[in-house]
């Protein structure tokens, strides 16, 4: 009897083992887990590929003479088509074109090549998306009516950004140096985007230096 029970249990164990083995063979493979950092890096690479493809399409569409770069007239056409903050077909001002070239034209040839195109497109897009707000800000702080913020006026603007806490003259001069692309000693409405971004970046870095981990 005991031997019979042992035989039955052995048979049962064998069947259970076979079932388990079969289930393991048919079980779908578990997906490979990726950490968040690797996923983020892959997304960045994918985004970079898409940006590069878009920039190549833009260059191909506006480089009508196939020179490999956008000459001034071609750049004006691109900026006009991109701008939704003004009536359709309204060209950018000479100052606006000069500003885009000042930021993007690293070779200094008065044109924008494929490598320089992203800076040109991003700068212009950022400005036009905030044109109304920037013009209102300039009107508010440009007490002298010069069309730009000189150091005392820039200081007042940065102080307001700083929650009313006065900023130092050295900080104002640093922002002026970073944002005054035209080099005329003032911040116009185009340069106000850069000045604001530089200030917030400066504050963030200063705060991070003070955090104890």
Say what percent of the chain tops pLDDT 90.
69
* pLDDT tens digits, 30-88: 555 567 878 888 888 888 899 899 999 999 999 999 999 999 999 999 999 999 999 99
Enumerate residues 6+ apart whose C-beta is below 8 A from 124.
79, 82, 83, 92, 96, 100
* Tokens read off for 137: 């800000």
Four-point Cα dihedral 79, 82, 88, 89, nearest 10: 30
Decide if 60 contacts 123 (C-beta within 8 A): no
What's the token pair of residue 178? 């970073």
For residue 193, what are the CA distances in angstroms to 34, 59, 207?
38, 25, 21
CA 182 remoteness from chain centre: 22
Alpha-carbon span 158 to 78, nearest angstrom: 33
Question: Phi and psi (nearest 5°) for 75?
Answer: -65, -40
pLDDT tens for each residue of 137-157:
999 999 999 999 999 999 999
What's the pLDDT at 95? 94
Identify the sign of the CA torsion 164, 167, 172, 175.
negative
HEC string for 170-181: HHHHHHHHHHCC
Question: For the chain, how big is the Rg over CA atoms in Å?
Answer: 31
């Amino acid at each position: 009897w005991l031997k019979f029970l042992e035989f039955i249990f052995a048979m049962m164990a064998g069947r259970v083992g076979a079932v388990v083995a079969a289930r393991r063979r048919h079980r779908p493979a578990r997906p490979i887990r990726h950490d968040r950092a690797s996923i983020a890096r892959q997304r960045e690479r994918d985004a970079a590929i898409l940006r590069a493809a878009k920039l190549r399409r833009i260059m191909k569409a506006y480089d009508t003479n196939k020179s490999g770069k956008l000459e001034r007239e071609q750049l004006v056409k691109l900026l006009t088509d991109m701008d939704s903050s003004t009536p359709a077909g309204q060209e950018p001002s000479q100052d606006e074109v000069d500003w885009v070239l000042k930021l993007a034209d690293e070779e200094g040839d008065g044109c924008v090549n494929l490598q320089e195109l992203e800076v040109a497109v991003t700068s212009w897009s950022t400005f036009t998306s905030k044109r109304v707000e920037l013009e209102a800000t300039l009107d508010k702080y440009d007490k002298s009516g010069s069309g730009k913020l000189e150091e005392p006026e820039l200081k007042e603007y940065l102080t307001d950004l700083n929650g009313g806490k006065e900023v130092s003259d050295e900080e104002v001069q640093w922002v002026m140096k970073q944002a005054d692309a035209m080099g005329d000693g003032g911040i116009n409405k185009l340069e106000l985007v850069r000045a604001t971004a530089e200030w917030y970046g400066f504050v963030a870095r200063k705060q991070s230096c003070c955090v104890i981990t």
